[in-house]
């Protein structure tokens, strides 16, 4: 019947932590509401650079987003999150998504978050068919994830030794106050079967690896994590391959 409004509410409580609360609500006015945003948040430079992102839905109705955040225990009004549409460039977007995803993700920049403070994030999707929203809570310390290290270099030192060097992620701007530690992943194959070894943590930006097999090809990658163990390690850096020399240098 014309003018009828259908409302469906789903509440899902996930427990205490970086995703303490996740409420999904869809409201439809004679049509299908937009899909609920699937939101992922991370801090790429503790404590100053925090983003949330979600995929652009499949083409249907033009969708608008309203993004706000607030302190869970505070009395201040919610603040508006700076939105960066898919494919847009922004000075705030210092963390670049992979090329395959850069045209598909919305980003929301949350500046100047407080340490050891729980926040509530609300991402609401609205179009002519209705609305839906994602509501979640997080603490900055739980979502720390640096960008990968850059400029990874591998140099042979002796018949079975290599020197692995790298640079910190340029987006991590406070290495003097909040230093990073690193893991090295190196991989190889034996008769077509993949093998790997994960070493670390290393507090320096170089490490000497010994006992490698001459003539064998190895692939090296490095990840970065906040020194005190906040959050999680970065994605692995771009791989670097090297074949260990069979003669002395």
Asked whether residue 21 is assigned to any structural domain, the reply reads no
Asked whether residue 22 is assigned to any structural domain, the reply reads no
Asked whether residue 216 is assigned to any structural domain, the reply reads yes
Q: Are residues 64 and 125 in the same domain?
A: yes
Q: Are residues 159 and 135 in the same domain?
A: no
CATH code of residue 54: 2.60.40.10
- Output phi, psi for 77, to 5 deg: -65, 150
Asked whether residue 2 is assigned to any structural domain, the reply reads no
Mean pLDDT value across residues 170-176: 92
CA–CA gap between residue 46 and residue 202 (Å, rounded):
19
CB 109 within 8 A of CB 51: yes
Which sign, positive or negative, has the C-alpha torsion 234, 239, 244, 245? negative
The pTM of this model reads: 0.78
Residue 159 has pLDDT above 90, yes or no: no
Mean pLDDT value across residues 29-43: 77
Residue 76 has pLDDT above 60, yes or no: yes
Kindly report which listed range (102-111, 135-144, 236-245) carries the lowest average pLDDT score: 102-111
Nearest C-alpha neighbor of 54 from the set 146, 125, 119, 130: 125
Q: Are residues 76 and 118 in the same domain?
A: yes
How many structural domains does the chain have?
Answer: 2
Residue 79 has pLDDT above 80, yes or no: yes
Residue 56: count other Cβ atoms within 10 Å of its Cβ.
15
Q: Are residues 74 and 160 in the same domain?
A: no
Asked whether residue 215 is assigned to any structural domain, the reply reads yes
Mean pLDDT value across residues 44-54: 91
Q: Are residues 122 and 173 in the same domain?
A: no
Q: Are residues 176 and 232 in the same domain?
A: yes
Q: Are residues 115 and 158 in the same domain?
A: no
CB 87 within 8 A of CB 78: no
Q: Are residues 122 and 212 in the same domain?
A: no
Band of residue 90 on the pLDDT scale cut at 50, 70, 90: low
Residue 89 has pLDDT above 70, yes or no: no
Q: Are residues 193 and 215 in the same domain?
A: yes
Asked whether residue 93 is assigned to any structural domain, the reply reads no
Structure tokens at 33: 């509401």
Residue 92's pLDDT is what? Answer: 52
Expressed as residue numbers, the domain containing 189 is: 153-244
Q: Are residues 161 and 130 in the same domain?
A: no
Q: Are residues 44 and 137 in the same domain?
A: yes
Asked whether residue 190 is assigned to any structural domain, the reply reads yes
Residues 6+ apart with CB under 8 A from 123: 37, 39, 52, 54, 65, 66, 67, 108, 133, 134, 135
Asked whether residue 199 is assigned to any structural domain, the reply reads yes
CB 218 within 8 A of CB 225: no
Q: Are residues 133 and 158 in the same domain?
A: no
Which of 142, 173, 206 is the C-terminal boundary of a domain? 142
CA–CA gap between residue 103 and residue 181 (Å, rounded):
32
Residue 13's pLDDT is what? Answer: 30
């Amino acid at each position: 019947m014309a003018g009828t409004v259908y409302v469906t509410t789903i509440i899902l409580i996930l427990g205490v932590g970086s995703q303490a609360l996740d409420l999904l609500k869809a409201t439809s006015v004679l049509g299908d509401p937009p899909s609920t945003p699937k939101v992922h948040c991370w801090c790429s430079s503790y404590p100053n650079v925090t983003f949330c992102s979600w995929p652009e839905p499949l083409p249907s109705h033009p969708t608008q987003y309203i993004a706000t955040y607030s302190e869970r225990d505070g009395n201040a009004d919610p603040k508006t999150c700076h939105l960066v549409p898919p494919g847009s460039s922004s000075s705030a977007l210092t963390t670049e998504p992979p090329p395959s995803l850069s045209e598909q993700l919305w980003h929301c920049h949350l500046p100047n978050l407080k340490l050891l403070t729980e926040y509530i994030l609300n991402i609401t999707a609205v179009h002519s068919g209705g609305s839906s929203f994602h509501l979640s809570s997080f603490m900055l310390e739980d979502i720390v994830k640096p960008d990968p290290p850059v400029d990874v270099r591998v140099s042979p030192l002796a018949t079975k030794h290599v020197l692995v060097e790298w640079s910190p992620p340029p987006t991590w701007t406070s290495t003097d106050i909040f230093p990073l530690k690193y893991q090295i992943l190196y991989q190889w194959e034996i008769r077509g079967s993949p093998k790997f070894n994960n070493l670390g943590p290393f507090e320096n930006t170089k490490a000497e690896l010994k006992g490698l097999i001459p003539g064998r090809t190895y692939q090296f990658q490095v990840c970065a994590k906040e020194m005190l163990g906040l959050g999680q390690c970065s994605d692995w850096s771009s791989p670097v391959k090297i074949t260990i020399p069979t003669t002395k240098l």
